């Protein structure tokens, strides 16, 4: 790849683009259009850079969006590639990184959970897995939500009785745990099932998750009949319960297409300058849930461009299935198919069905997209009205586009955290939430004022570093602080230190008797005031404050839980998570590791002689 910048401060718009053509050839590649502040306006790909860019040099014939983009262009950058497929992949990468204003942008690029049957243990564990597939074992998914995975895992435990405990817990058990008592685990940890029999249940679970559930059900039915014939009625009853649980899993799966083994069904609905993309995950002839996305689009963008951008960005960090079944055709389906095939390492097929079962799946996804967008637009209208009411209640110059709400959480000053949530015209912006581990060593335990000052100091210091010109939309239009006059005064002091005088800030105090509905609002230099008990704006502020409190409490609990799970091994040089697991598995506890002799440490799996000496020295030279 070769990159060529082109900028002439004396030229902009069509003239600049015309000037760029002098140095361009017909190579495939990616181009970037930048404004006079060097901010990226648009990223595009081309089979022939010269031909593609020459389209922008024309003075007329463009849509309103493209005409505005051209008029703002003050510089261009070009990156040539070997193939158009490579250009497509690079384009979607750059769009996700740079978030240009005029591109279709996938705003919610979350990962999806899978079910993992581990492959590095004699008695494999069945568990939820999210992220890169680095662990050994069999992966099944993706599922649309953690809830879908948890429900499926719960039912699979009833059917196959596979363990879900960690290896360390497994190796330290001396008697069966509660899950065995409630018939959710066969207790391999205490030898109540043989390795061979457990392996057979693992194979059955894998067959079920691969779509071969009928064979599993038939096998269980035969075993139940055999147990009944042998008058082993307790075993027959247990098998009957497993068959019932298996049937329930199949019922919960919903639509189970017979003619589609592995596909993502992707449907787009556009209305009023907004778009919703609905994705159904079909794996092993089973529907494993659906998810909706709302990419950022312009008013004059066509469906093929939206879908192409969505697919390119969506599968940038995810493994595509064998088939993509779409509601609209793409402009370059062969190119996208080649790019995804190259990424997956096996053929990916892109279909736009007109009839049959696949068309029915698309229609179902399109209906969901249409209904989801209607709900979102209705919620957006309500949100806009509430933000306008917020501006009127707090005497703001305009409805705020970004509201930041802050709260702290701790227990008598320990494991203290600060939390920030963000709301805007589209509702809660969860991707913008931030947590702050309170670091102030000079703070008195429980000093809420000091904690809030630290959080806001760090927030404004970061804003001034990342967005000093306030052009990226990261600065708030309104701060809501959980607290009264004291917190407001503390935050005002920090804002003054950072030279931030133009952002309104309001403290939300519980008010008389600390009852919801009697909140008092505090502003610097003004008397506290309250809103009417039934004012929708009051309910809106309460919801924002409660969401901040929920996020702060959740963050605090996670930090406290991590502290509870900490061991002295965490501080031993060279002992990471993997070695920690091996040591705990081998010795049973951190205390046993600290008391172990040098020769015992050397005998532990995965521990070299040098590491054994380091661990031994750490625990025996401290005294």
| Backbone torsions φ then ψ of 609, nearest 5 degrees | -60, -45
Q: Region 151-177: what's the mean pLDDT? A: 85
Q: Prior bond to 142 cis, omega within 30?
A: yes
Q: Region 525-541: what's the mean pLDDT? A: 88
pLDDT 10s digits, 422-472: 999 888 888 899 988 887 666 666 677 888 888 899 999 999 988 888 877
With a CB cutoff of 8 Å and minimum separation 6, the contacts of 172 are: 585, 588, 589
CB of 460 within 8 A of CB of 479? Answer: no
Strands 323-326, 286-293: pairing kind: unpaired
3-state secondary structure 70-119: HHHCCEEEEEECCCHHHHHHHHHHHHHHHCCCCCCECCCCCCCCEEEEEC
Q: pLDDT band at 254, cuts 50/70/90?
A: very low
Structure tokens at 333: 């389906």
H runs (alpha helix) in 126-281:
146-160, 167-172, 178-181, 195-209, 213-229, 233-252
CA distance readout (Å), 256 to 51, 180, 283, 389: 47, 32, 9, 47
* Alpha-carbon radius of gyration of the chain: 30
pLDDT 10s digits, 321-368: 999 999 999 998 999 999 999 888 889 999 999 999 999 999 999 999
Element (H, E) at 379: helix 356-393
CB of 351 within 8 A of CB of 334? Answer: no
Q: Region 195-221: what's the mean pLDDT? A: 79
Given this model, what pLDDT does residue 515 score?
55
pLDDT 10s digits, 97-122: 888 989 998 877 677 888 999 988 99
Q: pLDDT band at 511, cuts 50/70/90?
A: low
Strand partners, 506: 480
Given this model, what pLDDT does residue 618 score?
80
- Answer whether residue 74 shows pLDDT above 60: yes
Q: Region 530-555: what's the mean pLDDT? A: 88
pLDDT 10s digits, 559-608: 666 555 556 777 787 787 778 777 877 777 778 888 888 888 888 888 88
Please give the angle made by the CA atoms of 532, 511 and 496, to the nearest 5 degrees: 100
Structure tokens at 545: 């404050």
Q: Region 407-419: what's the mean pLDDT? A: 72
pLDDT 10s digits, 36-55: 888 899 999 999 999 999 99
Q: pLDDT band at 221, cuts 50/70/90?
A: confident
Structure tokens at 178: 């509660």
pLDDT 10s digits, 134-161: 888 999 888 877 877 887 788 788 878 8
The pTM score is: 0.71
Taking the C-alpha atoms of residue 129 and residue 146, their distance in angstroms, rounded to an integer, is 10
Arithmetic mean of pLDDT over the chain: 85
Q: pLDDT band at 252, cuts 50/70/90?
A: very low
Query: Rounded to a whole number, what is the distance in angstroms from the first to the last CA of the chain?
Result: 59
Q: How many CB atoms lie within 10 A of CB 76?
A: 23
Q: Which domains does the chain have, with CATH numbers?
A: 2-98 (3.40.1440.10), 114-252 (no CATH), 262-374 (3.30.420.340), 403-562 (3.30.420.340), 568-620 (1.10.150.20)
With a CB cutoff of 8 Å and minimum separation 6, the contacts of 522 are: 484, 485, 488, 506, 507, 509, 528
Taking the C-alpha atoms of residue 64 and residue 519, their distance in angstroms, rounded to an integer, is 47
Q: How many CB atoms lie within 10 A of CB 212?
A: 14
Structure tokens at 575: 């002992």
Q: Is residue 427 helix, strand or coil?
A: strand
Taking the C-alpha atoms of residue 416 and residue 409, their distance in angstroms, rounded to an integer, is 6
With a CB cutoff of 8 Å and minimum separation 6, the contacts of 233 are: 227
Q: Region 383-392: what's the mean pLDDT? A: 92
- Answer whether residue 420 shows pLDDT above 90: yes
């Amino acid at each position: 790849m070769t990159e060529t910048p082109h900028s002439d401060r004396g030229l902009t718009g069509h003239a600049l683009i015309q000037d760029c053509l002098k140095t361009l050839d017909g190579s495939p590649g990616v181009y970037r259009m930048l404004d006079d502040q060097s901010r990226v306006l648009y990223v595009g790909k081309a089979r022939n850079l010269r031909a593609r860019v020459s389209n922008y040099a024309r003075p007329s014939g463009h849509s309103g969006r493209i005409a505005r983009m051209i008029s703002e262009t003050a510089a261009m950058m070009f990156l040539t590639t070997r193939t158009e497929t490579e250009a497509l992949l690079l384009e979607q990468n750059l769009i996700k990184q740079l978030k240009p204003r005029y591109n279709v942008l996938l705003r919610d690029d979350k990962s999806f959970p899978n079910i993992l049957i581990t492959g590095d243990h004699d008695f494999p564990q069945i568990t939820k897995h999210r992220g890169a597939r680095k662990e050994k074992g069999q992966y099944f998914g993706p599922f649309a939500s953690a809830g879908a995975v948890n429900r499926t895992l719960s039912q699979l435990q009833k059917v196959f009785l596979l363990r879900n405990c960690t290896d360390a817990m497994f190796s330290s058990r001396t008697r069966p745990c509660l899950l065995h008592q409630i018939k959710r685990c066969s207790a391999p940890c205490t030898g109540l099932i043989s390795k061979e029999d457990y392996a057979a249940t693992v194979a059955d679970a894998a067959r079920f998750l691969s779509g071969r559930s009928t064979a599993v059900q038939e096998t269980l039915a035969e075993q139940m009949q055999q147990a009944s014939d042998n008058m082993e009625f307790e075993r027959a009853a247990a098998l009957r319960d497993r068959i019932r649980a298996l049937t329930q899993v199949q019922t919960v799966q919903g639509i189970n297409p017979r003619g589609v083994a592995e596909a993502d069904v992707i449907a787009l609905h556009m209305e009023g300058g907004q778009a919703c993309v609905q994705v159904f995950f079909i794996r092993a002839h089973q529907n494993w849930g659906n998810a909706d996305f709302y990419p950022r689009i312009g008013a004059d963008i066509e469906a093929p461009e939206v879908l192409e951008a969505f697919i390119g960005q969506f599968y940038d960090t995810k493994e595509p299935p064998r088939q993509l079944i779409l509601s609209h055709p793409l402009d370059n389906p062969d190119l996208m198919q080649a790019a995804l095939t190259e990424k997956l390492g096996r053929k990916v097929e892109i279909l736009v069905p007109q009839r049959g079962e696949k068309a029915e799946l698309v229609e179902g996804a399109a209906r969901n997209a249409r209904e989801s967008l209607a709900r979102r637009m209705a919620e957006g209208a309500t949100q806009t009205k509430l933000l306008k009411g917020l501006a009127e209640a707090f005497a703001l110059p305009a409805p705020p586009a970004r509201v930041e709400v802050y709260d702290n959480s701790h227990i008598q000053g320990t494991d203290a955290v600060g939390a920030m949530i963000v709301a805007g015209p589209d509702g809660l912006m969860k991707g913008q939430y931030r947590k702050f581990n309170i670091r102030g060593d000079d703070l008195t335990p429980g000093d809420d004022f000091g904690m809030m000052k630290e959080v806001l100091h760090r927030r404004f210091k970061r804003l001034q570093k990342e967005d000093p010109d306030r052009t990226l939309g990261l600065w708030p239009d309104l701060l809501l602080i959980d607290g009264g006059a004291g917190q407001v005064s503390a935050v005002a002091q920090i804002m003054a230190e950072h030279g931030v005088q133009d952002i309104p800030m309001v403290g939300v105090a519980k008010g008389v008797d600390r009852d919801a509905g009697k909140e008092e609002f505090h502003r610097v230099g003004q008397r506290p005031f309250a809103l009417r008990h039934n004012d929708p704006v009051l309910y809106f502020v309460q919801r924002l404050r409660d969401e901040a409190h929920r996020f702060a409490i959740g963050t605090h609990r996670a930090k406290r839980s991590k502290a509870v799970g900490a061991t002295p091994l965490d501080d031993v040089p060279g002992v990471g998570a993997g070695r920690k697991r091996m040591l705990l598995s081998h010795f049973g506890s951190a205390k046993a590791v600290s008391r172990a002799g040098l020769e015992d440490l050397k005998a532990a799996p995965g521990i070299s002689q040098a590491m054994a000496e380091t661990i031994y020295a750490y625990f025996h030279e401290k005294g």
